[in-house]
Structure 1
Amino acid sequence: MIITNGDYVDLETPNGLMRTHILKPAAPGRYPAILLYSEIFQVTAPIRRTAAMLAGHGFIVAVPEIYHEFVPAGEIFPYDQAGSDRGNALKTTKTIAGYDADSRAVVDHFLSRPDCNGKIGVMGICIGGHLAFRAAFNPEVLGTVCFYATDLHKATLGAGMHDDSLVRTEDIKGELFMVWGRQDPHVSLEGRTAIQARLNQAGTRMSWIEVNGAHAFLRDEGIRYDPDLAHSMMQLVFNFFHRRLSEGDHAV
């Protein structure tokens, strides 16, 4: 579908305005919505291209700036050591309550939009995969995709580095789609095994895929990008969201 991709809204949160980028089908109608969480580098060009692909499949996509409390609206971090250090430092400066308030603000925004049909999904990459997992605690979320969710097995997200994400697994009422790279040093085999065991113990509805890929294999920039894996996984993502959120390319 033809999309619009230059819009944004500044959403109210307990910690100030959160710049949230909106990409959506250009054709009039009501559509399902997807909250897309970025990596620690914020809304970079690869993240915008991922959002554009989702929007082109018939979804309203909202991409919040995850560190809006700490940096000016629109700022992104470079894909280098300095950018990584900045993003990782802020990852454990921001509070868990702040992350959760952000997801709630986007869900509420979707529900208020006249062009949204009320069916909501979430997708996240890297730290965004962990944030997507937590966003799935919102009862309106029907389906969630997590790409190599960092720190989930260690429970070290947020200020204090002691999150309750896996503890709250039973709060997830929708379906999960978990994707991992077997050559990802950030989430070891032991970590993946622990996460899977917890999800199985909770009876979570989920699909679980491990591929021979490195961390950031989805990102279409840098030496770890694997186009074949990225394209095949994204096709599964499109199928998952169409199944969970229904076709949305016509008025309801």
Structure 2
Amino acid sequence: MTGNMISIETAGGTGKMGAYMAAPESEGAPGLVIIQEVFGVNDFIQATVEAYADKGFVTAAPDVFWRLEPGVKLNPNVEAEFNRGIELMGQFDQPTGIKDIQATITALRNHPACNGKVGVLGFCLGGRLAYMAALGTDADVAVSYYGVGIETMLDQASDIKIPTLLHIAEEDGFVPPEAQAAIKAGLTADNFDVRIYPGVDHGFARFTGMHYDEAAANLANERSLSLLNSVL
């Protein structure tokens, strides 16, 4: 299913943010916000939006870097583009990004095809933002793929009441063993599900990436879809 760019009015009238969106033809579909890595709404994120639309979700990926540089689409396999993504992440204001994710959630809730329930699912930076969205938005469910720095936000975990699934790569240099242990120990409430994938590295679910692991990606994606379908 092919998507297209739409425009979303952001909080407080701060401007219009682009988002890549695809929707099933049926009505009464759940909504899903896909949150980008540091590489923007690139081919992988657009393909992910289209894949979830094919599975029956009204799906959109907001261009969360739009205040810095609208329309970022980077190839992480090109060193200069990878470095540009890291640079943008350093400039990105995450609390404002959460407001933009909320604006996307609201837009999907109000979409005529949507049943009013909306989840969030993010990768890397987006995995961190998905955890933050579980805290700071009205999302109904959150899924985080190899979110970075979540171990620094565990003191707020008791404020998260929605089902939250975390996929962690055992060999992730950005989420070292001590961080993984802290996350496992800190997220033990019934609404959390922490899954660690042995022998794989950061980015294992990005099928365009050098660390892609098909078996781990398929397992993580099945778990994500199962949770999203059960909640939404």
Q: Could you tell me the TM-score, scaled by structure 1's length?
A: 0.84
Residue in 2 that maps onto 1:241: 228
User: C-alpha distance in 2, partners of 1:22/1:151?
Assistant: 28
Residue in 2 that maps onto 1:250: none
Counterpart contact for 1:31–1:115, Cα < 8 Å? yes
Per-residue CA shift, 1:133-192, capped at 9, x if unaligned? 111124632211101101222x4xxxxxxxxx4332222221011111111111011001
User: C-alpha distance in 2, partners of 1:221/1:96?
Assistant: 26
Q: Does 1:219 align with 2:206?
A: yes
**Aligned-pair distance for 1:91?**
1.8
**Aligned-pair distance for 1:125?**
0.4
Residue in 1 that maps onto 2:82: 84
For residue 194 of structure 2, the aligned residue among 208, 213, 219 is 208
Residue in 2 that maps onto 1:191: 179
Residue in 1 that maps onto 2:154: 166
Residue in 2 that maps onto 1:64: 62
Aligned AA (1:207): D
Counterpart contact for 2:38–2:89, Cα < 8 Å? yes
User: C-alpha distance in 2, partners of 1:12/1:52?
Assistant: 23
Residue identity over aligned pairs, in percent, reads 26
**Aligned-pair distance for 1:19?**
0.8
Give SS of 2:215's match.
Answer: helix
Counterpart contact for 2:170–2:177, Cα < 8 Å? yes
- 58-67 or 135-144, larger mean C-alpha shift: 135-144
Q: Could you tell me the TM-score, scaled by structure 2's length?
A: 0.91
Counterpart contact for 1:176–1:207, Cα < 8 Å? yes
Give SS of 2:140's match.
Answer: strand
Counterpart contact for 1:176–1:205, Cα < 8 Å? yes
Unaligned runs of 5+ in 1: 156-164, 246-252
User: C-alpha distance in 1, partners of 2:191/2:120?
Assistant: 15
Q: How does 1:1-252 map to 2 (within 5 A)?
A: 3-13=1-11, 15-25=14-24, 27-72=25-70, 74-79=71-76, 80-138=78-136, 140-153=138-151, 155=152, 165-200=153-188, 203=189, 205-212=191-198, 213-245=200-232
User: C-alpha distance in 2, partners of 1:204/1:97?
Assistant: 27
Counterpart contact for 1:137–1:172, Cα < 8 Å? yes
Counterpart contact for 1:119–1:140, Cα < 8 Å? no
User: C-alpha distance in 2, partners of 1:38/1:136?
Assistant: 16
Aligned AA (1:184): D
Unaligned runs of 5+ in 2: none
Aligned pair count? Answer: 229
Larger RCO of the pair (alpha carbons < 8 Å, separation 6+)? 1
Per-residue CA shift, 1:31-70, capped at 9, x if unaligned? 1101110110011111111222211111111101121101
Counterpart contact for 1:44–1:76, Cα < 8 Å? yes
Per-residue CA shift, 1:1-34, capped at 9, x if unaligned? xx34124223324553211111111x23121101
Aligned AA (2:207): D
Counterpart contact for 1:176–1:204, Cα < 8 Å? no
